[in-house]
A and B are shown apart, each in its own frame.
Chain A
Amino acid sequence: MSTLLYLIQKEFIQIRRNSFLPKLIFGFPIVIMCVMPWVMNMEIKNVVVEVVDNDHSQLSSQLIQKIRHSNYFVFAGTKPSYDTALKDIEHSKADVVLVIPQGYEKNGEQVMIAANAVNGTKGAMGSAYLTQIVNSTNASQSATCSTAKTQKLSLGCKLQTLYLYNKNLNYKVFMIPALFAVVIMLMCGFLPTLNIVSEKEAGTIEQINVTPVKKWQFIIAKIIPYWLIAFFIVSVCLVLSWAIYGIVCKGSIWLIYLLVMLLALVFSSFGLIVSNYSDNMQQAIFVMWFFVVILLLLSGLFTPTRSMPDWAYMSTYINPMHYFIDAMRTVFVRGGGLANVSTQISALAIIGCLMAFWAVGSYKKNA
C-alpha cells in the first residue's frame, strides 16, 4: 500500500514541476467554459431573407412587413427577379429567397421559398420559420374572408407547445453539460497517454520495471492523479457555468461527480492502454485523437443518436461517451435522479473496469 502512496506522490510532483501542465490544468477548463458555449452554438440566427414580390398586393406587403419585424430574420430587401436573388445566394449575401407569385392575394397562389441548403439545418429551419410566417399571414387572411380551409386551420391556432427543461430554448443549456464531457475527455485522455510514453522515451520505465512494483500499482498510481484533476476540473466547470451563464445543475451534484469520476476512469485507462502500445508521442497522440473524434461524433453530443443509421446506433452501446452525455443531460438539464441514470452508471462502471484491467494487462514488465 505504501508503495502506491510513494508512486502517487511522484506523479503529483512531476505534474507540479512540469512547466506547462499546471497551467494547462487550470487554464484549459476556464478558457473552454468562457469561450466554447458561445462558439458551440448551433442556434440558427440572423438568417438573411430576400423577397421577390411579383404580386404587389396588400397581403404581400403585409407578409413582407412581418418578415421585416421578425427577430429571426435579417431582411435584405426586395429584388426584382428570382435570378438576381439567386445570384445573391451564390455570393452568400442571402440565405433564403421568398418568391411571392402574382395572384397570391386573389387566387391564393403558392409562394415559393428557396433556401441555401448547403448547411442543411440552417436551410431547413430558415424555411420552416418562413413557412410559419407565411401560414399565419394566410390564416389571418383566411379568417377575414372565410373559406373552406379555415376549419382545419382553426386547430392550428389553438395549438400550444410546452418546452420542458429549457423554456427559452437556450442552446447553452444543451451544450454546457456536453462541454464537461469534452474537457474531461481531453484532459484525462491525453495527459496519461503522454505520461507513459514520455517515461518510455526517458528510459525511466525500465528502472521501474526492474523493481518489485506491481503492475496494478503502477497503473493505479497513474490513474489516481487524473481522478483528482477531473474532480477539480468539474468543480471549476460547475462554478463557471453558474457564474457566467446562470445555468445550474437541476439534479443532484453528487450524481454529476459520480459520473465524472467514472468517465475519468474510462478515459485515463484508455489513454494508458494507447500509450502502452505506442512507441513514440506522435503515434500515441494520433491514435488517441482518432478514437476521441470518433467517440465524440458518435456520442450524441452534437446530433441525436436516434437519427443515426442502425450500424452507427449500435455502436453507441459500447461508447462510454454516449452513456456519459446521456446521463449528464438527464441529471444536469432534466433533473433526473439515480433511478433515471442507473443504466448509464452501470454501463460506465463496467466499461471503466474493463479498461482499467486492460491497461494493467497491456503493461508489460517482463517481455
Chain B
Amino acid sequence: MKAIEVKNINKSYGKVEALKNVSFDIEQGAIYGIIGPDGAGKTSLFRLIATLLLQDSGQITVEGFDTVRQMQHIRKRLGYMPGKFSLYQDLTIEENLEFFATLFGTTVEAGYDSIKAIYSQIERFKNRRAGALSGGMKQKLALCCALIHSPSILLLDEPTTGVDPVSRKEFWDLLQTLKSRNITIVAATPYLDEIRRCEKVLFLDKGEVKGIGTPDEILTRFADIFNPEGLPENESKLNGTENVIEVKNLVKAFGSFHAVDDISFSVRKGEIFGFLGANGAGKTTAMRMLTGLSQPTSGTGTVVGFDISTEHEKIKKNIGYMSQRFSLYEDLTVEENIRLFGGIYGMTKQAIKEKTEKLLWQLNFTEHRQDLVSSLPLGWKQKLAFSVSIFHEPKVVFLDEPTGGVDPATRRQFWELIYQAAQKGITVFVTTHYMDEAEYCDRISIMVDGKIKAIGSPKELKEQFHKKDMDEVFTYLARTATRQDN
C-alpha cells in the first residue's frame, strides 16, 4: 500500500486556481521532497493531505484512508508542521515542548532521543519564553515540537527557513534516522542541499506538476531554475582602504547574557561584507546596534564616520536597511512605497519621479507600479524592498537575511542587484544562511557565541581552515560553539 496517493486533485480559491489536476503517490517510508517557487501551491497541497482543506475534485488517500470521509483516522497518524508554524510566544521552551508532546499523546522523556541532536542546542534556554528567542532558535524549537512524537507520516512545510546550515544538516540527519523507523516524510524546501537528500522530488509550479523524479533528474532537467550558473567573479574596484564601518570591543548584554561579546572589525568602502553566524550567535543584535536601533552596552563603533551610540540619527541619514521580516507597507502600491521612502530621506519630488521610472524599468515592474505590494510574490517583494533600501543612494546598506525562503533563480537575480549596488560604490553589509551566497562576498566574518571567530575573504578562510568550500568552513567553526553546552 502506498503511504499517500493523490489523484487528479483540483483546488481553487475563488478565481485563483491553486492546484490543477495534481496526481502523484508516495511510497511507505520514503523521504519525498516537494519543491517549487513561491505560490506554486505547496502549502495548499500540504493542507489537503493534512485534512485541513477540502479539494474541489479528485481524491487523496493517506495510508488507505480518504481525507474527506475518514479524517479522524488520518489525524491520528499524521504529524504536520505548517510553514508559518508559530510557537506559543508566552510559554517557555520547555512548556511549548511539553504541550506539544501531550498533544500527541506522548511525553518529552519518551520522545527525547528523536529530538536530542537539535534540542540539546536550545535546552540551556529552556526557561526562556519562546517570544524572546531569535528567529532561528524559534525554528529549531518548532522542529523539536514537530518531531517529539513519531507519527507514521510527517508533513513538513519549509521547515528550515531561517535556520543556519549546521542545524539544517543536523535536522536532515534526524530525518534520516526517522526513515529507519519506516516513517514517511514529505518536506517542502528551497535549499538545494536538502533537495539532494530526498529520495524523490516533485516539482510543482503554478499549481501544476512539472516533473517527478530523483533529485538529480529534476535538478538537471530544470537546471535553469534550480541551479543557475554562479555569478561571475565580482570585479568591484575597492576605492582605497577607507573604512565605512569601524567597530571596537562592541558588547551588548541582556542581563548577564552577552548576545554580542566584544567584537571588533572594520568594513571598507564599496565592499560586500558577509556577516555569517549560526542562529543565536548575535548577528541581528550586532546589526541593530550598527543601524542605530539599539544602544551598545559598551565599546565603540562608527558607521560612515558617525558614532553609533551618540550620532545614530546622523547614521540613519546615510544608510539603507532591509530587515528579516518583510519591510515595505503591504497596503501601499509599488510606486507609493518608493515615493514614501524617497520622501522620508528628503529627496526632491523631481528626483523621486525620475528615479522611480528608472527603477521600475530596471526591475521590469513598469506594469505593476499600481499593484499593491501585498499582491506581489515573495521574490518580487524582496527585490523591491532591496531597491527601495538603496533608492536614496546610501553609503552603506544593511541586509538581514534578505533571501530567506526564496527559490534559487530569484536569489541569483537578487545577488545581481547587490553587485550592481556595490559597483555604484554602496557598501553592502549582508547576513545570510546560504553558503553559496557567502562565496559571492568580498570578505566575510563568522560569528560564534557572540564573538567573531574568523574574518577574511572566502579564499583566505578556506585556506586558513583547509576546507574545500565555505559550507565546510562554517560547519567547522559553528560546531566549536560552546554556548549550548555550558
Binding site for B on A (CB under 8 A): 2-3, 5-7, 9-10, 13-14, 17-18, 202-204, 206-214, 365-367
User: Are A212 and B331 interface neighbours, CB within 8 A?
Assistant: no
Complex alpha-carbon distance, A347 and B398, angstroms: 47
Query: Given A2-B346, A3-B343, A3-B346, are A204 and B316 also a contact pair (CB < 8 Å)?
Result: no
A14 to B337, CA, bound (A): 11
Q: Is the CB of B313 within 8 A of A212?
A: yes
- 14 A-B residue pairings within 8 Å (CB atoms): A5-B343, A6-B343, A6-B344, A9-B340, A13-B332, A14-B332, A206-B325, A207-B321, A208-B344, A210-B292, A211-B344, A212-B313, A214-B313, A366-B292
Given known pairs A212-B317, A366-B312, A367-B295, the reply for A14 and B343 (CB within 8 Å) is no
The A-contacting residues of B in range 283-334, CB under 8 angstroms, are 291-295, 312-314, 316-317, 319, 321, 323, 325-332
A210/B330 in contact, CB under 8 A:
no
- Measured CB to CB, the closest approach of chain B to A21, in angstroms, equals 11
Query: Which of B294, B317, B326, B327 is in CB contact (< 8 Å) with A366?
Result: B294
Q: Which residues of B contact A18 (CB under 8 A)?
A: 331
Q: Are B344 and A210 in contact (CB under 8 A)?
A: no
* C-alpha spacing A366/B296, complex, angstroms: 10
A residues less than 8 Å from B345 (CB atoms): 211-212
Contact surface of B with A, Cβ cutoff 8 Å: 291-295, 312-314, 316-317, 319, 321, 323, 325-332, 336, 339-346, 349, 372, 398
- Determine whether the beta carbon of B293 is less than 8 Å from that of A367: yes
Task: Give min CB distance, B402 to chain A, whole Å.
Answer: 13
Contacts A207-B321, A210-B292, A366-B292 known; A6 to B339 CB distance under 8 Å?
Answer: yes
- Closest 8 CB pairs between A and B? A6-B343, A203-B325, A207-B327, A210-B321, A212-B317, A212-B316, A17-B331, A210-B291
**Do B317 and A10 touch across chains, with their CB atoms under 8 A apart?**
no
**Which chain A positions have C-beta within 8 A of B336?**
10, 13
How long is the Cα–Cα vector from A363 to B130 in the complex, in angstroms? 25
Knowing A10-B329, A17-B331, A203-B327, the reply to whether A211 touches B293 (Cβ < 8 A) is: no
Q: What separation, in Å, do the CA atoms of A209 and B372 have in the docked complex?
A: 23
- B316 CB contacts on chain A under 8 angstroms: 210-212
Q: Which residues of A contact B294 (CB under 8 A)?
A: 366-367
Tell me the bound Cα distance from A14 to B344 in angstroms. Answer: 16
**Cα–Cα, bound, A204→B295 (Å):** 20
In contact, B293 and A206 (Cβ under 8 angstroms): yes
CB closest residue in chain A, given B352: A6
Quick one: closest B residue to A206, CB to CB?
Answer: B323
Minimal beta-carbon separation of B288 from chain A (angstroms): 9
Choose from A3, A9, A14, A365 the contact partner of B331 (Cβ within 8 Å). Answer: A14
Q: Are A211 and B291 in contact, CB atoms less than 8 angstroms apart? A: no
Name the A residues within 8 Å of B326 (CB-CB). Answer: 203
The answer to whether A207 touches B328 (Cβ under 8 A) is yes
Which residues of the partner chain B approach A14 to less than 8 Å between Cβ atoms? Answer: 329, 331-332
Q: Which of A13, A17, A210 has the most CB of B within 10 A?
A: A210
Residue of A nearest to B336 (CB): A13
Inter-chain CA distance A209–B313, complex, in Å, is 10
Give complex CA distance A18, B374 in Å. 13
The answer to whether A2 and B332 touch across the interface, beta carbons within 8 angstroms, is no
Residue in contact with B344 in the complex, picked from A17, A202, A212, CB distance below 8 Å: A212
Residue of A nearest to B308 (CB): A366
Q: Is the Cβ of A204 less than 8 Å from the Cβ of B341?
A: no
Q: How far is the CB of A342 from chain B (nearest CB, A)?
A: 40
Interfacial chain B residues near A13, Cβ < 8 Å: 331-332, 336
* Contact present for A366 and B340 (CB under 8 Å): no
* B344 and A3 contacting across the interface, CB-CB below 8 Å: yes
A residues near B328, Cβ cutoff 8 Å: 204, 207
A28 to B372, CA, bound (A): 27
- In the docked arrangement, what's the CA distance between A225 and B330, Å? 20
Are A2 and B291 within 8 A (Cβ)?
no
A267 to B346, CA, bound (A): 30
Q: Which residues of chain A have C-beta atoms less than 8 A from B330's C-beta?
A: 202
User: Smallest distance from the beta carbon of B319 to chain A beta carbons, Å?
Assistant: 7
Task: Using CB atoms, name the residue of chain B closest to A6.
Answer: B343
Complex CA gap A17/B372 in Å reads 10
Question: Which residue of chain B has its CB nearest to the CB of A5?
Answer: B343
A207–B340 CB distance below 8 A: no
Q: Name the residue of chain B whose CB is nearest to the CB of A14.
A: B331
State the CA gap A202–B328 with chains docked (Å). 9
Given A212-B316, A365-B313, A366-B312, 17 new contacts (CB under 8 A): A2-B349, A3-B343, A3-B344, A6-B342, A7-B340, A7-B343, A9-B340, A13-B331, A17-B331, A17-B372, A203-B323, A203-B327, A206-B325, A211-B345, A212-B345, A212-B346, A366-B293
With both chains docked as a complex, state the minimum distance between the C-beta of A1 and any C-beta of chain B, in angstroms.
Answer: 10
Q: A206-B293, A206-B323, A207-B323 are in contact. Are A10 and B340 (CB under 8 A)?
A: yes
Q: Which residues of A contact B398 (CB under 8 A)?
A: 210
CB-defined contacts of B292 to chain A, threshold 8 Å? 210, 365-366
**Complex-state Cα separation, A151 to B165, whole angstroms:** 104
A4's nearest neighbour on chain B, judged by CB, is: B343
- Contacts of A3 on B, CB cut-off 8 Å? 343-344, 346
Distance of A2 Cα from B325 Cα, bound (Å): 28
Complex Cα spacing A9 to B341, Å:
12
The distance in angstroms between the C-alpha atoms of A213 and B321, with both chains bound, is 14
Closest to A203 in B: B325
Residues of B within 8 A of A202 (CB): 330
CA A17 to CA B332, docked complex, whole Å: 8
Q: How far is the CB of B252 from chain A (nearest CB, A)?
A: 11
Residues on B with beta carbons closer than 8 Å to the beta carbon of A212: 313-314, 316-317, 344-346
Residues of B within 8 A of A211 (CB): 316, 341, 344-345
Question: Which chain B residue has the least Cβ–Cβ distance from A205?
Answer: B327
A10-B332, A13-B332 as given contacts; A366 in contact with B295, CB under 8 Å? yes
Pairwise interchain contact A6-B340, C-beta atoms closer than 8 A: yes
Q: Which A residues are CB-close (under 8 A) to B372?
A: 17
**B396: shortest Cβ distance to chain A, in Å?**
11
Contact B319 A210, beta carbon cutoff 8 Å: yes
Distance between B334 CB and nearest chain A CB, rounded to angstroms? 13
State in angstroms the CA–CA spacing of A14 and B330 once bound together: 9
Choose among B314, B326, B340, B341 the residue with the greatest number of A CB atoms under 10 Å from its CB.
B340
A204 to B331, CA, bound (A): 11
Kindly state the separation between the CA atoms of A212 and B349 in the bound complex, as whole angstroms. Answer: 18
Knowing A211-B341, A212-B313 are in contact, say whether A204-B293 is a contact too (CB < 8 A).
no
A169 to chain B, nearest CB (A): 50
Give Cα distance in the complex from A217 to B342, angstroms.
15
Tell me whether A206 and B343 are in contact (CB under 8 A).
no
Question: Which chain B residues border A9 with CB–CB below 8 Å?
Answer: 340, 343
Measured between C-beta atoms, what is the minimum distance from A367 to chain B in Å?
5
A99 to B290, CA, bound (A): 85
**Assembled-state Cα–Cα distance A7/B109 (Å):** 54
Find out whether the CB atom of B344 lies under 8 angstroms from the CB atom of A209.
no
- Which of A13, A17, A18, A366 has the most chain B CB atoms inside 10 A of its CB? A366
Q: In the complex, what residues of A have CB within 8 A of residue B291's CB?
A: 210
A108–B96 Cα distance when bound, in Å, is 81
Complex CA distance for A366 and B312, rounded to whole angstroms: 8
User: What is the minimal beta-carbon distance from B297 to any residue of chain A, in angstroms?
Assistant: 12
Would you give the shortest CB distance from B40 to chain A, in whole angstroms?
25
Report the separation of the CA atoms of residues A212 and B316 in the bound assembly, to the nearest whole angstrom.
5
Report yes or no: A213 in contact with B344, Cβ–Cβ below 8 A.
yes
Residues of B within 8 A of A6 (CB): 339-340, 342-344
Return chain B residues, CB-CB under 8 Å to A207.
Answer: 321, 323, 327-328
- Report A-chain residues with C-beta under 8 Å of the C-beta of B317: 212
Which residue of the partner chain A has the closest CB to B337? A10
Contacts of A203 in B (CB 8 A): 323, 325-327
State the Cβ distance, B302 to closest chain A Cβ, in Å.
16
Report whether A210 and B293 are in contact in the complex, using a CB–CB cutoff of 8 Å: yes
